[in-house]
């Protein structure tokens, strides 16, 4: 899933930089494709797990007729689908709240397709990667805002349009390479 996530986010970032009209037109389809892809990967891993368990002498006792199929389904749901479901809930909440707030403010805070890009970035970064994406966005925003306030002596709205996808890439790489080795990661990670 690591390489697939990097490929999706990199492709979307290239679209964001060079082919923005395409991104604006198809952002909702990209969201749907990301969700379907994540669920497809979960289904693929579930099939592989069933195959491995059914071919091993000891683990075949976890499958029917020795166990109820609900045992395997619960295992697969928690192990392969739950991280995607949790990140989908977070991304969906962000998407809904951001759209409502942006509409109420006259679309001052986000570009038209930015909310969709942010939702994809949050969804693909997974949980607890979402926490790092939000932390990175807020940190960079505050830093730029404070520098802008110190230099110009006025408060302005600073766009974060180009930060969502790179911060998600950063979170995925950080959590995969370094944080996964820490004890804190085992407390935060689902599965």
Tens-digit pLDDT profile for residues 83-131: 889 999 999 999 999 999 999 988 888 888 899 999 999 999 987 888 8
Whether the predicted pLDDT of 191 surpasses 60: no
Q: Where exactly are the structural domains of the chain? A: 2-188
Three-state DSSP at 66 gives coil
| Helix %, strand %, coil % of the chain (to 5) | 80, 0, 20
Tens-digit pLDDT profile for residues 69-92: 999 999 999 989 988 899 999 999
| Averaged confidence pLDDT in the chain | 87
Residue in the block written with tokens 């408060």: 155
Whether the predicted pLDDT of 165 surpasses 70: yes
Give the C-alpha separation, 7 to 15, whole Å.
12
């Amino acid at each position: 899933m690591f390489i697939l996530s990097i490929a999706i986010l990199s492709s979307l970032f290239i679209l964001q930089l060079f082919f923005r009209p395409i991104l604006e037109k198809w952002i909702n389809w990209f969201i749907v494709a990301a969700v379907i892809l994540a669920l497809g990967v979960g289904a693929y891993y579930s099939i592989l797990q069933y195959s491995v368990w059914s071919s091993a002498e000891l683990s075949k006792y976890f499958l029917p007729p020795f166990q109820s199929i609900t045992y395997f389904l619960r295992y697969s749901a928690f192990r392969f689908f739950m991280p995607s479901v949790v990140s989908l809930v977070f991304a969906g909440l962000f998407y809904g709240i951001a759209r409502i707030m942006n509409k109420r403010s006259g679309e001052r805070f986000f570009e038209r397709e930015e909310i969709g890009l942010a939702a994809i970035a949050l969804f693909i970064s997974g949980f607890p990667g979402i926490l790092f994406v939000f932390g990175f966005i807020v940190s960079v925003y505050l830093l730029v805002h404070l520098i802008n306030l110190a230099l110009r002596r006025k408060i302005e709205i600073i766009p974060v349009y180009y930060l969502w996808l790179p911060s998600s890439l950063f979170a995925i790489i950080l959590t995969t390479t370094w944080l996964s080795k820490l004890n804190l990661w085992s407390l935060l990670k689902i599965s």
